[in-house]
Structures are given as structure tokens and as C-alpha cells.
Amino acid sequence: MKYEIEKRLLDMIPYKPIEGEFKVRLDANESFFSIPDNILKEFESSLKDIDFNRYPDPYSKEVCYRFARSKDIDVDSVIAGNGSDELINLIIQVFLKDGDKVLTLAPDFSMYRFYSDLRRAEVISVNNPYDEPIDVYALIQAIEESKPKIVIFSNPCNPTGQVISRDNIIKLLQKCPNILFVVDEAYMDFSDQSILNIAKDFSNVIVLRTMSKAFAAASIRLGFAVSNRELISTMKKVKAPYNINSVTQKFGSILLSHSEENKQRIEKIIRMRDNLYAGLQRYTDEIKVFPSGGNFIYVSTIRAKEIYDKLLSDGIAIRYFNNNTLRISAGNEEEQSALFSSLDNIFKNRGEK
């Protein structure tokens, strides 16, 4: 006799990021900026103020205040998480029961399904044709037919870059008032359709944000959820104690206090995304390129796996999906130049194996 792990757990497929060293990383939608020296010096100076022998602030009050202030929202409507992933998992674990239904889009961020499967929820995937705008009326119909407990999607959509307008998000919330919507705005710093400032006015929505993309701070694992006080209070009751370490809280607070520098970096990332989109247009006889509201561009081509493998051999990592699509993160000038140079060679030698 021995302890047996459930078969459903053994069969689960983990999230698998690309590992290894590459001269150009355009696979994970990270910022191509490093943290500026003046902010690093400010952070280094602040380390002496951290009581490393004590547990961190259990409610991350300072960094939540800084985030709320930077977004001009009520701090009581904010909770911090160890990356958005912790918050996604927390929401699914807390607001679902075994067998409840979760509705997601396909394609979308794979961890929505992963955490739902872990919770023993029934996952309903609504096909999202990535070559046209997301059909909100079709989404409402799917919700009315399937009656999920939670609807969760990213906006802008990862990986397609599609953006649902603020007005259409409001329409969803109003049309389905008894459904909890989780709107993951991880990439909304690169777009302009956020509902962050009105999330507290609805009983049925939680909005997620992250420091990993626009703020060049993926390594510190810091995210936020914004909602009405009742939902946030419930999440605070059941979250893990001391879930955000003191170093992350301090660094996040400092980073959020530099709003003008953050704004300038975001503007540069948007310009480089648009340059990437324009540059990829030269290959439209081989690939289809989709406009994006994120910090990445989505591409479809029957040669997706070949292109992915050849770029890897050139030391350039992008993201490959099994449906003959690729997602390419915006890089700096040098990185995108290297990408285009490799793509020129790939398409010039299209007949070679």
C-alpha cells in the first residue's frame, strides 16, 4: 500500500515557460526596460528600514495606497497579491464550489483553465476568432445559455491583443448582474479601455492589474485586484497571511511613486509595439499580422513552428502556440532589429529545409 495521487492531478499539464539563455527574449511579454538607476538607489537606501526579522505587513497597506493613488481610486477597493496568479487562484478557490461553471475565451491566458480545473470546476470555452473583434453579444448569449458562476478573460486579450471596449464591458456587467466577472487588465497600461476606476461601483466585477508588464518588475511578483469593498473584504479574509514579502512591498511602493517615469516608459513600449506591427507587415505574403492593445503582436502562419524553431536557433525566443500562431513581445530597437534580420533570412530561404 502507498499513498496514491489523484489521476486528475497526475494528468494536469503545468504552465511551461521557455527556459534557457537567449540573446533576445521576446517570449514572455516582459518589459525591455531595466529599472532606472535612480529608482534602484532609492530602493537600496530603503533596505535599512526593513525589519527582516519581522513578518511583513499582512495587508500591504503602503503599496496598496501607492497603487490606488497612482490610479486615482479608493484604497479600500484594492488588495495586493503575489503576482496576479495568486489573485486568480484565490478568486477561483473562494468564489466557486466543486462543479460550478467557469466561462473563458479560447484563446486566452491558460492559467484560467488550470486553476479552474484544480478547483474541480467545469470550464466552458467560448471560441474567440482572433481575426475579428470579440463579439460581446455572442458572449452574452453563451453566458445566458451556460449559466456560469464566473466569467474570466484578459482585456487586452493575451495572446491575441484584442481589446473589448469599456462600454462593452459595462454592457456585460449590466446584462449579467448575477455573474462574477474577472477582467484581467494585465496589459491595459498599453491600451485605453480600462474599467478600473468604476469597478467599485459594480457588485459583480473584479479587475486585475500587475507590475510585471508595464512597470518592468516581473521578478518581484506583485499584482492587484480592484473591486467593491464587499468582494475585497472577503478576499482579505481568506488570503494567505503575509502573502507579499517586505522587499516586494517596499520596492513596489517606490516604483509606483515615480509616475512620470513610468508613463514615459509605457509610451516608449507602445511605440515599439507599433514599430513591431509595422515591421512585420513586410512579410504579409507569409504571415497574417493582427493589431494589438498589448505589448506584443499576434501572428498566424502555417509556418509558425518552423519560424519559431529557426528563431530559437538564432538565439531569439518568441512564443509558439499549437494553432499555427506566434506571439512576439515588443523589444527595444536592437532586439527588434535582430528579429527582423532573422525573419528576412527565414523568408528569403523559404524553400530550404
Across 299-311, average pLDDT: 97
Report yes or no: 325 and 316 within 8 Å, Cβ to Cβ. Answer: no
Sheet bearing 325-329, strands edge to edge = 288-290, 296-300, 325-329, 319-321
Cell of 336: 527588434
pLDDT in tens, 48-107: 999 999 999 999 999 999 999 999 999 999 999 999 999 999 999 999 999 999 999 999
Evaluate if residue 351 carries a pLDDT over 60. Answer: no
Question: CATH assignment of 7-30+260-347, given 3.40.190.10, 3.40.50.1820, 3.90.1150.10, 3.30.365.10?
Answer: 3.90.1150.10
Give the separation between CA 182 and CA 152, rounded to whole angstroms: 5
Instruction: Please report, for the chain, the start and end positions of each structural domain, with discontinuous segments joined by +.
Output: 7-30+260-347, 49-257
Q: Which CATH number fits domain 49-257: 3.50.30.30, 3.40.640.10, 3.40.50.80, 3.40.50.1400?
A: 3.40.640.10
Which one, of 87, 103, 85, lies nearest residue 231 by Cα?
A: 87
60: amino acid identity, one letter: S
Predicted confidence at residue 315, as pLDDT, reads 97
pTM for this prediction: 0.95
pLDDT at 352: 45
